[in-house]
Amino acid sequence: MKTLPGPVIFDLDGTLLDTAPDLATALNKLLLEEGFEPLPLSAVRSMVGQGAVQMIKRGFTESGKLPAEEKLHGKLRKRFLHHYENCYLNETRPFPSVVTTLEKLKEAGHPMAVCTNKSYEMSVPILDGLNLLNYFHGVIGGNSLPTAKPNAAPLEAAIRLTNGSASAATMVGDSITDVKAARSAKIPVIAVSFGYTDIPPYDLGADAVIEHFNELIPAIQKISRTTHH
């Protein structure tokens, strides 16, 4: 019996999309309003991936002043998201070869979904605006469930969206959050080397690291030969 191609679950920021420039614009607008100097893009890159509140928290910590928790979750988050809504498609682009790779995975019969810590309400219009939404069976955002990654639940929910076999699934991400989520869900994980992480990509403990999206399909095939059989 021929086995069906397994589900492939993607992280969003730093994996499929280079969203850091627009996130930096929004964060810097917030910092300027609060009387702080804007941060360089290189500093913002390593702050992405754990949701808006964590990003704001790290941005303010970098500037030397940590706001109160209620202000972080309330006014600051709201203002940050407002700024971000006004710029989220200005400079955000898929990484090189993302589109051709998604096309090939779809043709090969791999069901795909997105599992991100970005809110669902932000993730969907961005994917839609870049004409990528149709590649995926659905999106699990950081607020879709009571817990976000590194908990296994969002990843497991994303696999269920594909109707594919969980035992044949592979996660693709860029950070320790993704690797931990995959380990908790007991599925293999491929890390990209060009994403947003303060831990060097080769130290994340992923099953494979790719330098370019055109290496993804061979990496999935190799993992599937070794772990799924």
Q: Do 136 and 111 meet the contact criterion of CB atoms below 8 Å apart? A: no
Alpha-carbon distance 191 to 49, whole Å?
14
Alpha-carbon distance 5 to 59, whole Å?
41
How many CA atoms, within 13 angstroms, populate the side-chain half-sphere of residue 118?
30
Residues that are catalytic: 11
CA quadruple 210, 215, 216, 220: dihedral positive or negative?
negative
Cis previous bond, 200, omega within 30: no
Alpha-carbon distance 204 to 104, whole Å?
27
Main-chain phi, psi angles of 194, to 5 degrees? -110, 15
Nearest CA among 41, 213, 201, 11 for reference residue 118: 11
3 state SS for 38-107: CCCHHHHHCCCCCCHHHHHHHHHHHHCCCCCHHHHHHHHHHHHHHHHHCCCCCCCEECCCHHHHHHHHHH
Nearest CA among 199, 201, 200, 183 for reference residue 191: 201
